[in-house]
């Protein structure tokens, strides 16, 4: 054993994973060879200057420090992730390659206030990369591409690539790395399952390990599809898929649609139990700098998409809550467990208000 740490536990209890020296070496070789073969502007070369914007304790800082050390790149370690410090270091140290979660990319773009930041390649992971955010980053000179992985996979098993302005292509989970066997398990609702020589052998608990490696495949807990070109596209987490009125609703897709509104900086959708419809989606949105969110406009846009058949009418959230901020985990990911508790409270308040109005009307 070389390393051990715990998962972030955004949808369940944290679990301990571990990796051997051999696994770290194999992951480094596969990840580095993939980055080297990416299109120009989406790749990593010996001329790049590397600055991580992901904590070192978060899945080996996504394995990148091993790769850049092997290549002998200049490395810049910023300490706390303060946007102004990160932007200053990017300028003074000529940083050209980084990685982070979407939240931190959002903070960098906002802090830059239109200042050109390129050329800067940033791999995005930890949660879904909305196409709208890819486009915003491109406008300030940042090339973003999604990477996919999890604590159990050490982490990278896929990386996006595509045309420079192909926001939908670059926001997909992408193409499997060398030595990764990825397939969609139709028997389990389209779950992405994996085999690769660097995946964790298990958790601290034997029962949990057996579940993770059921039938000899590592079960990611992600619902996925494969596009015609072979790229993996994550539809949702199994635990986050919402079933309402007999329809399956992707929280990732709904979040991306909400973020198409220029006033929305971030969006998160969770499902909560409903006595009639099984579950109902509750949406949380935050405003972009100097913007005011119109809930009516968001509802109207989603309603038009439902009429056009682009989404189910059940996907229109019961509540769209404008928040000052969203709860985070220690690595900056949106904490959906915490959001679900807030959503339950919001729904209870809304139901109580409707009941009170009924009583007044009846009187």
Count Cβ atoms below 10 Å from residue 260 Cβ, excluding itself. Answer: 14
Of 127, 156, 179, which marks where a domain is finished?
A: 179
Whether 275 and 155 map to the same domain: the answer is: no
In a domain, 23, yes or no: yes
Examine the residue annotation and report whether 121 is marked as an active-site residue of this protein. no
Range of the domain at 162: 3-179
**Known active-site residue 152:** yes
Q: Which of 45, 69, 165, 243 is catalytic?
A: 243
Number of domains, the chain: 2
Instruction: Indicate the range of 216-225, 241-250, 286-295 predicted with least confidence.
Output: 241-250
- Residue bearing the bigger pLDDT, 147 or 363: 147
Q: Does residue 148 sit in the same domain as residue 42?
A: yes
Q: Is 7 a catalytic residue?
A: yes
339: in domain: yes
Q: Do 73 and 96 meet the contact criterion of CB atoms below 8 Å apart?
A: no
- CATH number, domain containing residue 345: 3.30.300.30
What integer pLDDT is reported at residue 10 of this predicted model?
Answer: 59
Confirm whether 216 is domain-assigned: no
What is the predicted pLDDT for the residue at 12? 64
Identify whether 234 is part of a domain.
no
Predicted confidence (pLDDT) at residue 293 exceeds the cutoff of 70: yes
Higher pLDDT, 134 or 247: 134
Q: Each residue of 32-51: pLDDT tens digit?
A: 999 999 999 999 999 999 99
- The active-site residue, picked from 93, 226, 248, 341, is 248
Marked catalytic residue, from 15, 143, 152, 200: 152
In a domain, 197, yes or no: no
Q: Is the pTM of this model over 0.75?
A: yes
* 33 Cβ contact list (under 8 Å, min separation 6): 178
Residue 152 in any domain: the answer is yes
What region, left, alpha or beta, does residue 295 occupy, with left being phi > 0 and alpha being psi -120 to 50 degrees?
alpha
Can you give the pLDDT at residue 267? Answer: 95
Is 103 within the bounds of a domain?
A: yes
Domain edge (last residue) among 179, 200, 216? 179
Q: For residue 194, what are the β-bridge partners?
A: 182, 218
pLDDT value of residue 237? 86
Measured distance CA(266)–CA(279) in Å, rounded: 23
C-alpha 324/C-alpha 209 separation (Å) is 39
Specify the CATH number for the domain of residue 73.
3.40.50.12780
> Is there a catalytic annotation at residue 243?
yes
């Amino acid at each position: 054993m070389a390393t051990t740490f715990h998962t972030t536990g955004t949808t369940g209890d944290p679990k301990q994973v571990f990796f051997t020296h051999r696994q770290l070496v194999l992951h480094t070789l596969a990840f580095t060879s993939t980055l080297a073969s990416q299109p120009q502007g989406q790749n990593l070369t010996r001329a790049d200057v590397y600055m991580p914007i992901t904590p070192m304790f978060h899945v080996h800082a996504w394995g990148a420090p091993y790769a850049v050390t092997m290549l002998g790149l200049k490395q810049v370690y910023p300490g706390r992730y303060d946007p102004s410090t990160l932007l200053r270091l990017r300028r003074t140290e000529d940083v050209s390659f980084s990685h982070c979660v979407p939240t931190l990319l959002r903070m960098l773009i906002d802090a830059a206030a239109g200042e050109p930041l390129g050329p800067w390649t940033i791999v995005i992971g930890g949660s879904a990369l909305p196409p709208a955010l890819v486009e915003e980053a491109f406008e300030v000179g940042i090339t973003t591409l999604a990477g996919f992985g999890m604590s159990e996979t050490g982490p990278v098993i896929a990386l996006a690539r595509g045309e420079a302005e192909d926001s939908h292509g670059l926001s997909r989970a992408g193409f499997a790395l060398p030595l990764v066997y990825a397939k969609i398990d139709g028997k389990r609702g389209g779950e992405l399952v994996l085999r690769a020589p660097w995946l964790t052998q298990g958790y601290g608990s034997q029962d949990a390990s057996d579940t993770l490696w059921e039938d000899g495949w590592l079960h990611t807990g992600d619902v996925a599809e494969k596009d015609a070109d072979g790229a993996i596209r994550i539809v949702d987490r199994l635990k986050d898929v919402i079933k309402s009125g007999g329809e399956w609703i992707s929280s990732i897709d709904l979040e991306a649609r909400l973020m198409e509104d220029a006033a929305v900086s971030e969006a998160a959708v969770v499902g909560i139990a409903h006595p009639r419809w099984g579950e109902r989606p509750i949406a949380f949105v935050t405003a972009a700098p100097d913007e005011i969110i119109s809930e009516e406009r968001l509802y109207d846009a989603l309603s038009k998409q439902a009429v056009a058949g682009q989404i189910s009418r059940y996907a229109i959230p019961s509540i769209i809550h404008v928040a000052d901020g969203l709860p985070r985990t220690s690595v900056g990911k949106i904490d959906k467990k915490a959001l679900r508790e807030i959503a339950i409270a919001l729904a209870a308040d809304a139901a109580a208000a409707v009941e009170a109005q009924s009583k007044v009307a009846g009187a």
